[in-house]
Amino acid sequence: MRKKIVAGNWKMNKTFTEADDLLFEIKEIISENPINGVELVVCPPAPFLELATDVAEEVDIHVGAQNVSSFSKGAYTGEISAEMLESIEVEYCIVGHSERRKFFGETNADVAKKVEQLLEFSITPIVCCGENLEEREAGNHFDVVRNHIEEGLFHLNEIEIQQVVIAYEPVWAIGTGKNATSEQAQEMHSYIRKLLLEKYGNEVAESISILYGGSCNAKNAFQLFANIDVDGGLIGGASLKAAEFIEIANSF
- Enumerate binding residues for ligand PGA (CB under 6 A): 9, 169, 174-175, 213-216, 234-238
Q: CA distances (Å), 155 to each of 46, 98, 126, 159, 185, in order?
A: 28, 21, 16, 12, 25
In whole angstroms, how close is the CB of 101 to ligand PGA at the nearest point? 12
Nearer to ligand PGA among residue 175 and residue 201 (C-beta) = 175
Nearer to ligand PGA among residue 97 and residue 205 (C-beta) = 97
Residue nearest ligand PGA by beta-carbon distance: 236
Q: Angle at Cα 163 formed by Cα 111 and Cα 186, nearest 5°?
A: 80
Catalytic residue numbers?
97, 169
In whole angstroms, how close is the CB of 237 to ligand PGA at the nearest point? 4
In whole angstroms, how close is the CB of 244 to ligand PGA at the nearest point? 11
Nearer to ligand PGA among residue 97 and residue 193 (C-beta) = 97
Residue 212 pairs in a beta bridge with 168, 233
Nearer to ligand PGA among residue 165 and residue 205 (C-beta) = 165
In whole angstroms, how close is the CB of 167 to ligand PGA at the nearest point? 7
Burial (CB count within 10 angstroms: exposed 0-12, middle 13-18, buried 19+), residue 202: exposed
Q: CA distances (Å), 191 to each of 74, 141, 146, in order?
A: 40, 11, 9
CA–CA dist 143, 232 (Å, integer) = 23
